[in-house]
Structure 1
Amino acid sequence: MVTSVARVAHRHVDVEGVRVFYRESLPDSQDAPVLLLLHGFPSGSHQFRRLIDVLGAHYRLVAPDYPGFGHTEAPEGFTYSFDRLADITESFVERLGLDRFVLYVFDYGAPVGFRLAQRHPEWIAGLITQNGNAYEEGLSDAAHSALTLNPKDPATDSVLRDLFTLEGTRSQYETGVRDTGLISPDGWTLDQHFLDGPGRKDAQRALFLDYHTNIESYGRWQSWLRKHTPPTLVVWGRDDPYFVEAGARAYLRDLPEAELHLLDTGHFALDTHLPEIAPLIADFLDRAWT
């Protein structure tokens, strides 16, 4: 039995002084549907490696690392905010000439992706949200506390120091997971490698303290969804300790035709449920691209 495995290129492109690293599958057809994969915290494009291998022979999957993440190199003095991450991602998309794609948002990918969608609705052929929150009811109490930290509170730095440790990183992968043996330790180990790099914790601290701008934008993102009604696939680890099941169901309020699939797993659902998620994505791409 011959199995189709993707050819994958690993490249850099200079965008506004940032050396953006990205992974891109090389499907046989030049007309293959395009899926832009936007990663979360504390990860990078490497979180999509298995998905790219599985689907990349038939679809063009593109996964960049944001400034402050993975292999992307940002200049000294770069301002770490979600607006700036969206600026760089927007310029990255333009540099690659992507003028139509299905948008996959996960975790931090939601605030980056929704900013992109607001600026360029014509680019969005469809939306896949995997634990990518856009509703206040989707925030657990723990998430709300962590994502609305007061920079003047003396306890803030202590909270963030704990979050940026190997124990904190690993817990994001394992919390809510029924069988942790399904999760490769490579994910959290690689994440921590990058987190421990020069200036990376300062970058992450700045992004945490900027997260309130995303919560304040939820209403605008929801209005965008109602106005543009993109074909939407919602795939959600229902035991995510940060972005809870109510956030997945909330999409149906603004997009009644959206497809909802709840999985018995945690935050990094692709790590445990790729066999279930990959066919859903493939089927969705085929339909959204027509």
Structure 2
Amino acid sequence: MTTRTVRHQTIEVAGVRVAYRESGPADAPVLLLLHGFPTSSHQFARLMDALGDTPYRLIAPDYPGFGRTEAPPAFTYTFDRLADVVEGFTDALGLDRFALYVFDYGAPVGLRVATRRPERVTGLIVQNGNAYEEGLSDAARAFAALRREVPGDEEKVRDLFSAEGVRFQYETGVADQTLVSPDGRALDLHYLGLPGRAEAQADLTFDYASNFTHYPAWQAWLRSAGIPVLVLWGAGDPFFTTAGAKAYLRDVPDAELHLFEGAGHFALETHLDRITPLIANALPHLTNASTAEAEVHRRG
């Protein structure tokens, strides 16, 4: 397998210094990878290496409040604003066409971007990213029901950012927990501990319920977009159930669906070896790249 050269860069987007990792030829078809909570673009590091011999440009940004991205003190942490920054990021990099990989928080961020600029999106990979009411577990509904003005809810939110809370998200539903590297959650805890990060994450938690009102619009886009969709799902996810994965087939009947038993929320941690070839095989269709175009980039 060819080893990828991964570049770690930053770019200014409306006062936010967005950190991102990127690999592949600058003129190759693009896969934009959008991470979840409480992690960063680091969650895609192994996948980017595993896709090393595929002829595509892979780009994974950190949102404001996550990873190495730096936002000004006055930044408002809502999902609308995260989408604003990601949309501005695609403009800043000149990404006119791209496939989306959305995971967890990446789903409400990426689907906002997709419905704002549908002409840009060539394909969609969904990995444990919910867009349907029936996909919400009791834990997810309880998470979304938290309110800042309710006594005790702020403390419940802060528990999500604790070492035990982060570990719960990585290991719950995983059949073999020895496959989950502790390094990822250690890095997450480092970034969560930076000044202002806990407040930013609390703001996003309290804004999470705003995503539910967008579900009908996202589902309508899925029905009308006519793009290929690949759904990959850790079946043991404590937040987003397999019912949410199967619901995508209602709006995109020819979507490709794979449920991974023994995988939790972070399915890439334990099932990278099974997920990578599925993505590699789907990328020509997801990016709308011709065989000839892909071969040109493969040869460099």
C-alpha distance in structure 1 between counterparts of 2:145 and 2:75, whole Å:
22
Alpha-carbon distance, 1:220 to partner: 1.0
For 1:1-290, list aligned pairs within 5 A. 3-27=1-25, 30-58=26-54, 59-264=56-261, 265-288=263-286, 289-290=288-289
Residues 143-186 of structure 1, C-alpha deviations (whole Å, 9 max, x = no match): 11112212211021121121110110011000000001111111
Distance 1:54 1:209 in 2: 35
TM-score by length of 1: 0.97
- The structure-2 alpha-carbon separation of the partners of 1:36 and 1:56, relative to structure 1 and needing over 3 Å to count, comes to farther
- In structure 2, C-alpha distance between the alignment counterparts of 1:286 and 1:228, rounded to whole Å: 17
Secondary structure of the residue that 1:211 maps to in structure 2? helix
Taking every aligned residue pair, what percent have the same amino acid on both sides? 61
SS in 2 for 1:62: strand
SS in 2 for 1:4: coil
Contact 1:9 1:25 in 2 (8 A): yes
Between 158-167 and 247-256, the greater mean CA deviation after superposition:
158-167
Deviation (angstroms), 1:216: 1.3
Q: Distance in 2 between matches of 1:26 and 1:61?
A: 6
CA RMSD of aligned residues (A): 1.0
Contact 1:127 1:230 (C-alpha < 8 Å) held by counterparts = yes
Whichever residue aligns with residue 275 of structure 1, its letter is: D
**Is the Cα–Cα contact under 8 Å of residues 239 and 267 in structure 1 kept in the other structure?**
yes
Moved over 4 A (4+): none
What displacement does 1:31 show? 4.5
Q: Distance in 1 between matches of 2:219 and 2:283?
A: 22
Task: Determine the C-alpha separation between the residues in 1 that align with 2:173 and 2:266.
Answer: 10
Residues 33 and 60 in structure 1, CA contact (< 8 A), matched pair in contact too: yes
TM-score, normalization: structure 2?
0.93
CA distances 1:51-98 after superposition (whole Å, capped 9, x unpaired): 111114422110000000000000011000000000000000011011
Please give the alpha-carbon distance, in whole angstroms, between the structure 1 residues aligned to 2:160 and 2:66: 16
Partner of 2:296: none
Question: Unmatched 5+ residue regions in structure 2?
Answer: 290-300
Query: In structure 1, how many angstroms separate the alpha carbons of the residues matched to 2:53 and 2:23?
Result: 7
SS in 1 for 2:60: strand
For residues 138 and 187 of structure 1, the distance between their equivalents in structure 2, rounded to whole angstroms, comes to 26
C-alpha contact (below 8 Å) 2:123/2:285 kept by paired residues: no
